[in-house]
Amino acid sequence: MDPTQTTLIELRDAIAAKTTSATEATQAYLDRIEQHNPALNAFREVIGDYALKRAHQVDVGEVTGKLAGVPIAIKDCMCHTEGTTACSSKMLEHYRSPFTATAVARLEAEGAVILGKTNMDEFAMGSSTENSAFGVSKNPWDTARVPGGSSGGSSSAMAADLAAASLGSDTGGSIRQPASITGVVGFKPTYGRISRWGLVAFASSLDQIGTFSHTVADTALLSQVMFGKDPRDSTSAAIDVPDELHDVEGSIQTDGPLRIGIAKQYLQEGANDPAVTAAFDQAMDVYKQAGAEIVEVDLPHTEHGIPCYYIVATAECSSNLARYDGVHYGHRTETPPPAGENPIMHLYCQSRAEGFGAEVKRRIVLGTYALSSGYDEKYYDLALRTRRLIAGDFDTAFQSCDAILCPTTTGPAFKIGEMADDPLAMYMNDIYTVTANLAGIPGISLPGGFAEQDGKPLPVGVQLLGKAFDEKRLLRIARLYERETNHGKQRPII
């Protein structure tokens, strides 16, 4: 058995049955990372010694749990006491966290083995992982193309089987969009379901930790472990987590036939690559054949999603990133400061001008402008009112359906550098994902098939959106689709 070619649950069960050991599984993933990461740049930092130590503790019975021995990768914006937490930025290149993020700590409390930190767009700002200060991550299906963003390192690692699962953060689609174009399952739960304590903030009212995996069942198990109230995070929800959340084969539990909503705003003629349209049509047929009722829903404020999101997100980022002033974060140096230079500034990290990349600076400037006196009502307050209208659209839609089916992205992965000079075109990659963050509802991207470009198959995805805190039903609806298709079982040849 090759531990790297299984699902998370299959590997967990094999370790429990002692047909393989946690150490063997961890070493197999570390070997695979060593072999393939130079070409993919999926990991920014690997903590191999720590991972092997944890795996040994599982093998001798010192560490147990629902995820005992399973190797998992985490995005570089999630704090962990081992290694550095850099957010793929020069500003935090040498930052060592004194604590571990709640979501990660809960995984470790159930026996998970953390392999290291995955590459990302700097401070999670981007849709391609081209904005990392540590180089571009590559898509395993075609290394000339992006793996999506901002969690592109996590999606690349998952697609290339460099981890049994990986964590990402989703502020406007940064899990679902990369999952779609790398052919894996990407899940963003309801805002507040998973604690954000220890997640370095981009936009606090939008950020949400979620997962990448190969199956809906793996996603559900990870969610079962991480969900729940955290007293250290005032925005985490005090709502009970269903004991049977991990059971994706259970009843969908509707009052009548399953109702799948279709919004005309997501299906504008000519807006999507033909492969995306084909994937959507196939998904709709799967649900029809399963006896679901297809109902049309109206989301009239969808067109305002992108501008609303980029006002709210940049405003919050300009506030959150104000703490990085060149003094409070960084590392001490042994070199004495040049004559006349401020010794305090020399002892710590780079200035903001040196430490931040171009995209982070762009968003700070946009957000500061939107919040400035005389413009806050014109832009920020209007965006907040629009956000309430978007959330209201979903509330109304879910009165007539159990989940909404739509594309995840408009097309497959684009080539590295293709949109580097057009930030607006890059922002439009999130057109099908940002509204879920604005409304705070859960969403999941599932492998939907392939587009053929340059003689290579490139994954595309389909997306399901659900009611707030109704993840159990959403995951079971997603599993219904997964059972009837074979897309997620195909993996890239690397």
Give the residue numbers marked as catalytic. Answer: 75, 150, 174
**What DSSP designation does 143 have?**
T
Say if residue 400 is preceded by a cis peptide, omega within 30 of 0: no
Phi, psi at residue 132, to the nearest 5°?
A: -70, 140
What does the DSSP 8-state code read for residue 207?
-
Contact 57, 12 (CB under 8 A): no
Written as one letter, the residue type at 305 is: G
What is the b/e burial string over 289-301, where b = at least 16 CB atoms within 10 angstroms of the residue's CB? Answer: ebebbeeebebeb
Please tell me the distance from the alpha carbon of residue 462 to that of residue 282, in angstroms, as a whole number: 10
CA pair distance 393, 268, nearest whole angstrom: 18
CB 131, CB 121: distance < 8 Å: yes
List the helix and strand counts (H, then E) for the chain.
16, 11
Q: Are strands 209-213 and 165-169 parallel, antiparallel or unpaired?
A: antiparallel
CB-CB neighbours of 377 under 10 Å: 9
Phi, psi of 452 (to 5 degrees): -105, 115
Residue 343 DSSP SS3: helix
CB atoms near residue 358 (< 10 Å): 11
